[in-house]
Structure 1
């Protein structure tokens, strides 16, 4: 049944205008972006099917075009809308990161990292360069690897820190497997990076481990204690 035939207060757009976006379900939010359904399905029903297929909003909005176009009623226009929404969310989070970061409350960093690399199918290593006030100077993707590992070049990270005249650094990488514990390789890399940065008077503040479900801080989990001085 078409959404147009629904009672007005049950239609997603009308509900949003009268009660705010927060009251809408994930499927209703998707329906507003889709605007129309497909043969036999309303936009909300199509939204529910997409959530069932992809498993979450994050996976849906980070899905490649090759997967989106395989879904009934979707194509390049839908992919463009989803990609635009995803990019807007990332840019809003980057704007919020321009304020000085508190190491006691790294939630903004976690939100950004999870949105940016949490749903990547391969391992990605990122660096966030900060000034003396702990404000973000730049965010760069340093390497991409296979599903199992990422080839991170310490020398390149040091070179970029010097380029940005950074005083401190936060690094992060994702685990596509969903594991929220650092490997021995992760620990060894962090220690090596910390020592290399110390030579140029740059402080390694934290290392975040990211999955599509969560994001954890080495510092908060005391995984960074063994390299703190």
Structure 2
């Protein structure tokens, strides 16, 4: 099987062979369109893949939320907390405040493990429970929590932890 050749139209109106940075930039642009306001999430797998690509290559831990309306359409994709190579401090009060601020009906949590290990720690499980409890008080559903570790994504919902 041969690799397809990809050409792009440059600013001068000339087609030229696309290099890696151009291909990556286009992939990121298309990925961002999945998270534009009003975009419907077609499946949990699509959300998982898009979040994984957004966090790919991060050398520090990032925790965030994908805020959704009643029909699971995207309201906002937000990276809320940035940590170090092995952890990030997450404050439930700030998560609830942000969810209420964008009038969210549901959320998907996500964070990465720069180590490449996608298995959630006990602290991850405890945090998810605390956040779910806090958001339930204001009628916001937690649909999932994805832990991204390299090429692997762990889903709390698929593991029966939500």
Same fold (TM over 0.5): yes
TM superposition score normalised by structure 2: 0.82
Shift of 1:87: 4.2
Contact 1:130 1:136 in 2 (8 A): yes
Match of 1:194 in 2: 132
Are residue 133 (structure 1) and residue 71 (structure 2) matched?
yes
Contact 2:106 2:143 in 1 (8 A): yes
Backbone CA RMSD of aligned residues: 2.3
Are residue 108 (structure 1) and residue 46 (structure 2) matched?
yes
Supply the distance in 1 between the matched residues of 2:85 and 2:111 (Cα, whole angstroms): 12
Supply the distance in 1 between the matched residues of 2:161 and 2:142 (Cα, whole angstroms): 13
Match of 1:16 in 2: 5
Are residue 123 (structure 1) and residue 68 (structure 2) matched?
no
Q: How many residues were matched structurally?
A: 150
Contact 1:129 1:138 in 2 (8 A): yes
More strand by share: 2
| Structure with the larger RCO, 1 or 2 (CA within 8 Å, 6+ apart) | 2
Match of 1:94 in 2: 32
Q: Mapping of 1:44-59 within 5 angstroms?
A: none
Specify the structure having the higher radius of gyration (Cα). Answer: 1
TM superposition score normalised by structure 1: 0.59
Point out 4+ residue stretches in structure 1 off by more than 2 angstroms: 84-88, 93-102
Structure 1, unpaired ranges of 5+: 1-9, 21-31, 35-80, 225-229
Shift of 1:221: 1.9
Contact 2:120 2:154 in 1 (8 A): no
Match of 2:12 in 1: none
Match of 1:179 in 2: 117
Structure 2, unpaired ranges of 5+: 8-16
